[in-house]
Structure 1
Amino acid sequence: MHPMQTIAVRAARAAGQTIMRAYTELDRIEVSNKGINDYVTNVDKEAEAAITYQIRKSYPDHTIVGEEGGQNKGENKDYMWIIDPLDGTTNFVRGIPHFAVSIAVQYKGKTEVAVVYDPVRDELFTAVRGKGAKLNDFRLRVSKATDLNETVIGTGFPFKAKQHSETYMKLFAATFSQCGDLRRAGSAALDLAYVAAGRMDAFFEIGLKPWDIAAGDLLVREAGGTVTDLIGDHNYMTSGNIIAGTPKATVALLKSFRPLLSDALKR
């Protein structure tokens, strides 16, 4: 196993233990709002602290970027850990058992290691650049779907980017009219992991953050999928606008979306 993958897995499992201990006592969780439908809990912060502790033990000089802690700069800026300690906080707070820990490691801007851990199901999705993707010890491949009318497609509503709501609803309607079915589960990291595992055929969303995307992006690509932004470029880590899926499903979605995009989403 890649040395940094070993630490990422250890960190993800440590965070998962913190999360699941709290999940049995939801009435004791401290919840505050960062924005509309955007929650942070003491558990997010404790899980992020557990991840940071594991990373710092082995790599004290690496940079860490976390959803709750911001950027924790180290002396070695070539290595960056991008972490979401609890992706799907709204689900967690409501007792919906669908959330995950997401950890990615970049070297000079390229993602080398990815871990998405679902502590409820004890499912560990991992990838190393050039070495493929796995679920626990089983190799992952994206589905073989070739036609949109056969597909199940994941998405997420842009509640943090409501200025794009009108355009998003056009994309949603166009997709719904062509695909087999749509899913909105509430964790982009798990949605991308599910695409890598062939459970869903594609995924799209607007306005995500790097910690939502970084690990799932590598999982999909190492499982044979394609990841782009809404116009077919590779600017999704910056824009937060993403399409990921089987190569043919991704191309079909890009073609369907192109005439519907607002000028703001064409950049």
Structure 2
Amino acid sequence: MNINLIKRIGIAAAYKGGEVLKENFDKIPKIKKKGSIDLVTESDTESEKLIIETIKKVFPSHTILAEESGLENGDAECLWIIDPLDGTTNFAHHLPIFAVSIAFALNGDIVAGIVLNPVTGELFTATKGEGANLNGIPIHVSKTQKLTDSLLVTGIPYNFKEIIDDIQTRFFNCLKASQGVRRLGSAALDLCYTAAGRFEGFFEQDLKPWDTAAGLIIAKEAGGSVTDFSGNSFDIYKPEILATNGKIHDEMIKLLELKG
């Protein structure tokens, strides 16, 4: 498998989808609700359509897993994992913190990731074993040693009302132990910003594979540590993700593990 070709097509697809988002960003979106606060816009579906078309022109037999259209079965070894608009609520409110997220997995192992913010022009990329980049320049996680000197980022799942006690406990544990906790509204960018050293750590629960797949490899290739809240190996189908610069990871686990 030519991973460089995979990466080039993934980047091309991200820019195609990103063009739709950028063109429609200042317009009043037509919004549908998948849940009480889980939104989808026409831009989500238009972006996804162009992304899939771009990929399928070159790799017609590959399997596609996309947020809006679901699973399209194909070659079981080759899987594209697509979020055409990560941060839909931000987009709908004209807040420029959102991204196109595209990952490629070979035999279940994520080997390439692309995350593009079409408004800022920031393109985060990574391929397995070759490091992570921002607009072609290598990036690395923060060298901050202590949690007390760290800035963290988190997200709130759509079903937060059902698990509000756990969320509050974890949030305030981290807030009290760090310099601060931000909530930006795009897990893909949260992972990339951790990879770039802007945050020392990111934690969230109840995400979907398309939320974390691309950011996962970008964070790991930038030198980050990625596990679940208990320190176990993370994969994109797990309900918890903790990504850090590695130096504060053990401290973060202690804050996130809830005692029964």
TM-score clears 0.5 = yes
Change (3 A) 1:244 1:140: same
Deviations 1:224-265 (A, max 9, x none): 00000111112442222100011122221002222x256xxx
Matched, 1:2 2:4: yes
Q: Which residue number corresponds to residue 188 of structure 1?
A: 187
Shift of 1:163: 2.5
Look up the match of 1:20.
Answer: 22
- State TM-score, norm by structure 2: 0.96
CA gap of 1:198–1:235, structure 2 versus 1, over 3 A, is: closer
Q: Deviations over 1:176-232 (max 9, x none)?
A: 000011110000000000000001111000100000000001001000000001111
How far apart, in 1, do the equivalents of 2:79 and 2:184 lie? 28
Q: Which residue in the other structure is 1:214 paired with?
A: 213
Q: What percentage of aligned pairs have identical amino acids?
A: 40
The 1-side partners of 2:206 and 2:259 are apart by 14
Q: 1:152: which partner in 2?
A: 151
- Give the distance between the partners of 1:231 and 1:173, measured in 2 at CA: 18
Q: How many residues align?
A: 258
Deviation per CA, 1:86-135, whole angstroms, max 9, x where unpaired? 00000000111110000000000100100000001000000000000000
3-state secondary structure, aligned to 2:34:
strand
Q: Aligned pair in 2 of structure 1 residues 80, 168: CA closer, same or farther (>3 Å)?
A: same
Task: Supply the distance in 2 between the matched residues of 1:57 and 1:261 (Cα, whole angstroms).
Answer: 51
Decide whether the 8 Å contact of 2:86 with 2:188 is kept in 1.
yes
Aligned partners of 1:5 and 1:128 also within 8 Å: yes
Structure 2 Cα separation of the partners of residues 79 and 163 of structure 1:
36
Aligned residue type for 2:66: G
Q: Which amino acid aligns with 2:200?
A: D
Cα distance in 1 for partners of 2:256, 2:117 equals 31
Distance 2:52 2:45 in 1: 10
| RMSD, aligned CA | 1.2
Alignment of 1:5-84 (within 5 A): 5-25=7-27, 27=28, 29-74=29-74, 76-84=75-83
**Contact in 1 for aligned 2:226/2:234 (Cα 8 Å):** no
Q: The residue matched to 1:217 in structure 2 has which SS?
A: helix
**Mean CA deviation greater in 42-51 or 238-247:** 238-247
- Stretch moving more, 159-168 or 40-49: 159-168
Give 2:100's aligned residue: 101
Give yes or no for contact 2:26–2:94 (8 Å, CA) kept in 1. Answer: no
**Structure 2 CA distance, aligned partners of 1:168 and 1:40?**
24
TM-score (norm 1): 0.94
Residues 261 and 223 of structure 1: CA distance in aligned 2, closer, same or farther (over 3 Å): farther
**Any residues of structure 2 matched to 1:132-151 within 5 Å, and which?**
132-151=131-150
Which is further off, 232-241 or 198-207? 232-241
Q: Secondary structure at the match of 2:236?
A: helix
1:206–1:241: 8 Å Cα contact kept in structure 2? yes
Whether 2:253 is the aligned partner of 1:251: answer no
Structure 2: distance between partners of 1:219 and 1:203: 13
Alignment correspondent of 2:124: 125
Partner of 2:86: 87
Cα offset, 1:161, TM superposition: 4.8
What is the alpha-carbon distance in structure 2 between the residues aligned to residue 249 and residue 151 of structure 1?
Answer: 8
Q: Which amino acid aligns with 2:164?
A: S
The 1:261–1:116 alpha-carbon spacing in structure 2 relative to 1, beyond 3 Å, is farther
- Secondary structure at 1:114's aligned position in 2? strand
Does the CA-based 8 Å contact 1:167-1:261 persist in structure 2? no
Q: How far 1:73 moved relative to its partner?
A: 1.1
Whole-Å separation in 2 of the counterparts to 1:89 and 1:180: 28
